[in-house]
Chain A
Amino acid sequence: MKSEVKFIAFKRSFVASLLTTAAAVAVASCSQATSERVAKAPAVKSAQVANYQGTIARVRRMTPEQYHNTVAYIFGADIDVGSPFAPLRRTDGLLASGAASVGVTTGELQQLQRSASSIAAQVIDKGSLDQHTPSRRDFLVPCKPVDENAADDACATKFVKEVGRLLYRRPLSEARVAEFVSDARKGANDLKNFYAGIAGVVEGMLLDPKVLLIADTTEPDPEHPGRRRLDAYSLASRLSFFLWDAAPDDQLIKDAESGLLFTAKGRAKVVDRMLASPRIEQGTRAFFDDMFGFEDFGNLAKDASVYPVMTGATIKDAREQTMRTVVDHLLTRNQDYRDLYTTRKTFMSPALATVYQVPTKPGWVPYEFPADSPRIGLLTQISYLSLHAHPARSSPTYRGKALRERLLCQKVPPPPANVDFSILENPNPLLKTARQRLEAHRANPVCAGCHKITDPMGLALENFDGAGRFRAQEKGADIDASGSLDGKEFTNVVGLGQAMHDHPQLTSCLVRRVYSYATGGPLSSADDGAITALNAAFGQAGYRYPALLRMIATSDAFYEIVEPAGETKAAQNSVSGQSETTAVTK
């Protein structure tokens, strides 16, 4: 009991010391990153660079998935991380971009502390035969202390160096290692347990802003005098969070150490290794889950009396089906991105098959809808149809809005505050189909403006109810699924799929989103050149997604740093030089 109290006191004191510096470091990182970006005006050396200059340096918070994936890589996938993060605010179409402008509340900090404490306890867990749990300490701590009941600086140093390098995404300075070893020693001596000291260090590391925040640190670019670039470790982090949705692995940090990332050939080799890794699926899933707004599945509920087929398993599998389709189409088969909206190939599970009304087998199996099926592309999958619908009815408006905003990067204005929804929510029974009800609703000119933007393509999906099940009729009336999309007319959902496939903004939207995701924040006019160049290159590559990833990841712009528009003057007043993180590690 006594030792437990001591342990808690030790943890509190250690964590408090870290938290005290946390805010300061975060602020320092931000301001110094800004100062780094603007230290010197970028020089234009070639036409390519002129069009495709670079990105601004940012500080962003790890997303929950990135934190989870990082912990899983370092300590094992069986570590229970919990849910310590508050939700991110969708910014410029992506949650990931919201991570670049997010604060950490006191409540969230408490959650993070609990999570860190729990993870640390799991890392040093000695296991239990009775509970069939493994001794994690035996394989996560790379050495055995001479005496388990006492401090062991040599072993602690080995652990701190190995784990710290992965968590901080760069080697720790000798001074920092010494600090951690000292903390571990104090904890071990106070608690008479080597592993208790290690746990305190792990908890402290996990709470360190330098771990939780992904700060772009910059340095002068010797290839382009007068300009700045990401330092090798920040570049490694940017690559890893972009492609794998996790912190760099051991090899990538070695590549950063070796200078490989700063030669075009070396960077291409590194990127190719990352693209060939199975972890690219994790990164691809993370991006598309974000772009498609699939976090909304967490709140999706359907009226069981109206859609009894829509079970919890159906909802879970609907999300997974789309992710499997995306991964298979874009990565496994390396197909044209546009074909995702016309493909009939997907995967089927028993829970989904009841909605699609097709036979299947247990588990996930590849499935292809016949050529004459109305199931064509992602828009006709249950995920899209059910996510963009009401709990008890379909919604052409939601579906059209999502199509424009999520997939074409267009903006649909919100409804006016005084809009009258009564025609839709308490409709005239003679108005049997959604088309009829919306026509009546659009009779109000206040409503007509926006609905003209969303409804013509949303109505093409009316053959699918709010659960995504096919229907030829609504309340006994035949459904007219004709529509149009930006000047292209069609008679049914097959035409909509083709119109999406051919829409020029379909691919340019993907480019925008991927580039934004890759560089860690919303785009600005400074990125226009890059986007233009990438759009052209993406087309030349046959709209292959891996090619787009490679283009971005191997480009100079990916590590070149430019000043954000409008910040030049303010930044000129700040001090230029190496960022705090860079200074520590070099």
Chain B
Amino acid sequence: MKNLIQKTAFAAVVMGGFGMATTVASADEAVPGLQNRTIGYVLTSANWGLYQTPDGKQECPDGFNEGPREQFKALYPNLGTVDGTQLERESASRYPMDKADNFPYHDVKGKIGIGLNLDGKVGENDFTSTDGEKGIDNNLYRAIGCTRLFRAPDGTYANFTDLWVREMNFNRVLVELTNVDSLTNDPAVDVTIYRGRDKLMTDATGANIMPGGSNRVDYRFGKNFITHMKGKIENGVLTTEAADVHWPWAVFLGRPGAYDFKGARFKLALTGDKAQGLMGGYSDIDTWYMQLVRSWSTHHSSYGGLSQPSFYRALHRLADGYPGPDGKMTAISSVLNIKMVQIFIEHEGQKVAAASDAKAKAAH
């Protein structure tokens, strides 16, 4: 019985600037999801890590960036032909380097940021997390933090990304922890990212994804999303070693896509029901940009003050990792705030495990 009952005690942990306090659970509470030294989680929310103050003046003292409408007005005050104005400007999203872009671009200038210390150093331009950790690498925040599109709650980006995570099976990210002896402290666990195949189930309120569901691994079309990592759990917080991660990201109308993270790692507070925290890494900037321009049409960009050509330049200017052969950086430090709930991960070809209520066994 004892080997099936994992005792957990979760210390309240505050991670990064997100203020992520874990659930404090009873030390005697068993963990139904932890069976055969394995527990799985499924992604229910993912948003780029932005530290925001209410009016934005602290991190964006120069204001927010201007979008397509403002730039169009400035570029074509007297209007003109469609191909000489509208089509010319729209093509700049796809070919941003064809013409000079002299519009000012506002980077985040604050000192506080959410994220992980990806390079293990404390640099001059690094952020400090809300709980005082120095050396936070998150230059993507610097690039997008003063653009309204990305800022919650009004920016449509955050709203849509959560919707896509929940409703599009392509984005079904599963994280499985194996060789787990304890969700509180375990010096060595294995972590594997898979893509799942099945829908998520909402609870009776309709607002939340229920823990305790099941999801099958997509071994057919999801192989390139499988990543193995080594990790450890300390005081209920999982941290992993770095690995390159291909992260599924389908967008409007279910069009498939992905982000490529180099040197990505997790920092997640774990409970038997959920995992919550950060997934940070260096995002490939070309992939990131293509993901953006293929999914965010002009009207969305206009509402959110996002000039794609201007952003392209900022992305390249702020890239801070993985230099290419020409010495230019190809990736930008970034972090996703992620939320997951416990799920039973089904591996193709395996029988359904004959598991029982783990809690129940405590009583018998």
Chain A positions within 8 Å of B, measured between CB atoms, are: 302, 304-305, 307-313, 348, 350-351, 353-362, 365, 367-370, 372-375, 463, 470-472, 476, 479, 481, 492, 494
**Chain B residues in 8 Å Cβ range of A362:** 198, 216
Q: How far is the CB of A432 from chain B (nearest CB, A)?
A: 14
| Chain A CB within 8 A of B286 CB | no
Q: Is the CB of A305 within 8 A of B356?
A: no
| A-B pairs under 8 A by CB, number | 110
B364 interface residue per 8 A CB criterion: yes
Known: A311-B203, A359-B352, A372-B361. 20 other contacts (CB 8 A): A307-B204, A308-B203, A312-B204, A350-B213, A356-B357, A358-B356, A358-B357, A359-B345, A361-B216, A361-B352, A369-B354, A374-B363, A375-B357, A470-B359, A470-B360, A472-B30, A472-B363, A481-B363, A492-B363, A494-B364
Q: Are A350 and B205 in contact (CB under 8 A)?
A: no
Q: Is B33 an interface residue (CB 8 A)?
A: yes
**B364 contacts A370, C-beta separation under 8 Å:** no
The 5 closest A-B pairs by CB, nearest first: A359-B344, A373-B356, A304-B204, A308-B203, A354-B212
Give the chain B neighbours of A302 by CB distance below 8 A.
204
B353 interface residue per 8 A CB criterion = yes
Residue of B nearest to A491 (CB): B364
B292 proximal to A (CB < 8 A): no
- Once the chains bind, are A308 and B210 in contact (CB under 8 Å)? yes
Residues of A within 8 A of B363 (CB): 374, 463, 472, 479, 481, 492
Q: Are B201 and A305 in contact (CB under 8 A)?
A: no
| Residue B145 is within 8 A (CB to CB) of chain A in the complex | no
B355 touches A370 (CB 8 A): yes
Q: Which residues of A contact B357 (CB under 8 A)?
A: 356-358, 373-375, 470
Of the residues B198, B345, B355, contact of A358 by C-beta under 8 Å: B355
Bound complex: CA A377 to CA B358 (Å) = 18
Distance of A358 Cα from B214 Cα, bound (Å): 8
Known A304-B204, A463-B360; judge A354-B354 contact (CB<8 A).
no
- Which B residues touch A307, using CB under 8 A? 204
Residue of B nearest to A492 (CB): B364
CA distance A372 to B362 in the complex (A): 11
B147 CB → nearest A CB, Å: 36
**Complex Cα distance A362/B215, Å?**
8
The one of A354, A365, A479, A492 in contact with B213, judged by C-beta atoms closer than 8 angstroms, is: A354
Complex: how many Å from CA A579 to CA B168? 65
A241 to B293, CA, bound (A): 65
- Alpha-carbon gap, A50 to B363, bound state (A): 53
Please indicate which of the listed interface residues A309, A367, A470 has the most CB atoms of chain B within 10 Å of its own CB: A470
**Smallest beta-carbon distance B205→chain A, Å:** 5
> Chain A residues with Cβ under 8 A from B201's Cβ?
311, 313, 350-351, 354
Q: Tell me whether B356 and A309 are in contact (CB under 8 A).
A: no
Q: How far is the CB of B204 from chain A (nearest CB, A)?
A: 4
Q: Does B17 sit within 8 A of A, measured CB to CB?
A: no
Q: How far is the CA of A308 from the CA of B204 in the complex (A)?
A: 5
In the complex formed, the residue of B with least CB distance to A370 is: B356
A373 / chain B contacts, CB cutoff of 8 Å: 356-357, 360-361
Number of residues from B at the complex interface, CB < 8 A = 34
The one of B32, B345, B354 that contacts A357, using a Cβ cutoff of 8 Å: B32
Within 8 A of A (CB), among B289-308: none
Taken residue by residue from 338 to 357, chain B's Cβ proximity to chain A (1 for < 8 Å, 0 otherwise) reads as 00000011100000111111
B208 located at the interface, meaning its Cβ lies under 8 Å from any Cβ of chain A in the complex: yes
Q: Is B202 an interface residue (CB 8 A)?
A: yes
> With the chains together, A449 CA to B198 CA distance in Å?
52
- Known contacts: A309-B210, A370-B354. The answer to whether A353 contacts B344 by CB under 8 A is yes
Q: Which of B32, B204, B355 has the most CB of A within 10 A?
A: B204
Ordered by A's residue number, 21 sampled pairs between the chains whose C-beta atoms are within 8 Å are A304-B205, A308-B204, A348-B352, A350-B198, A353-B212, A357-B357, A357-B358, A358-B356, A359-B355, A360-B344, A372-B356, A373-B360, A374-B356, A374-B357, A374-B363, A375-B356, A472-B359, A472-B362, A472-B363, A479-B363, A492-B364
B211 interface residue, CB < 8 Å from A? yes
In the complex, which residues of chain B have a beta carbon less than 8 angstroms from the beta carbon of A358? Answer: 344, 352-353, 355-357
- With both chains docked as a complex, state the minimum distance between the C-beta of B52 and any C-beta of chain A, in angstroms: 29
- CB–CB A372/B353 < 8 A: no
Cα separation A171 to B206 with both chains bound (whole Å): 54
Q: How far is the CA of A481 from the CA of B361 in the complex (A)?
A: 14
Contacts of A348 in B (CB 8 A): 352
When distances are taken between beta carbons in the complex, the residues of chain B under 8 Å from A368 are 354
CA distance A348 to B204 in the complex (A): 19
Q: B359 — which chain A residues lie within 8 A by C-beta?
A: 357, 470-472
CA distance A494 to B361 in the complex (A): 12
Interface centre among B208, B212, B357 (most CB of A within 10 A): B357
Which residues of B sit under 8 angstroms from A470, Cβ to Cβ? 357, 359-360
B355, A374: Cβ atoms closer than 8 Å: no
Closest to B33 in A: A357
Report the separation of the CA atoms of residues A38 and B216 in the bound assembly, to the nearest whole angstrom. 66
Interchain nearest-CB distance for A307 vs B (Å): 7
Task: A7 to B121: give the CA distance in the assembly, Å.
Answer: 88
Contacts of B358 in A (CB 8 A): 357
- Contact digits for B120-143, partner A, Cβ 8 Å, 1 yes 0 no: 000000000000000000000000
CB of A352, distance to nearest CB on chain B (Å): 10
Question: B5-38, CB under 8 A of A: which get 1 and which 0?
Answer: 0000000000000000000001000101101000
Min CB gap B259→A, angstroms: 28
Q: Which residues of A contact B202 (CB under 8 A)?
A: 311
Bound form: Cα–Cα A305–B357 in Å:
22
Query: CB within 8 Å of A: which of B61-103?
Result: none
Write out the residue numbers on chain B whose beta carbons fall within 8 Å of the beta carbon of A304: 203-205
Contact B210 A365 (CB under 8 A): no
Q: Out of A309, A374, A479, name the residue touching B203 (CB < 8 Å).
A: A309
| B30 surroundings in chain A (CB, below 8 A) | 472
Q: How far is the CA of A471 from the CA of B352 in the complex (A)?
A: 23
Chain A residues with CB under 8 Å of B203's CB are 304, 308-309, 311
Interface string of B213-226 (1 = CB under 8 A from A): 11010000000000
A360 touches B204 (CB 8 A): no
| Inter-chain contacts of B216 with A (CB < 8 A) | 361-362
Contact present for A375 and B360 (CB under 8 Å): yes
In B162-196, the 8 Å CB interface with A consists of none
A466 CB, min distance to chain B CBs, angstroms:
13
Task: Collect the chain A residues with CB atoms within 8 Å of residue B210's CB.
Answer: 308-309, 311, 354
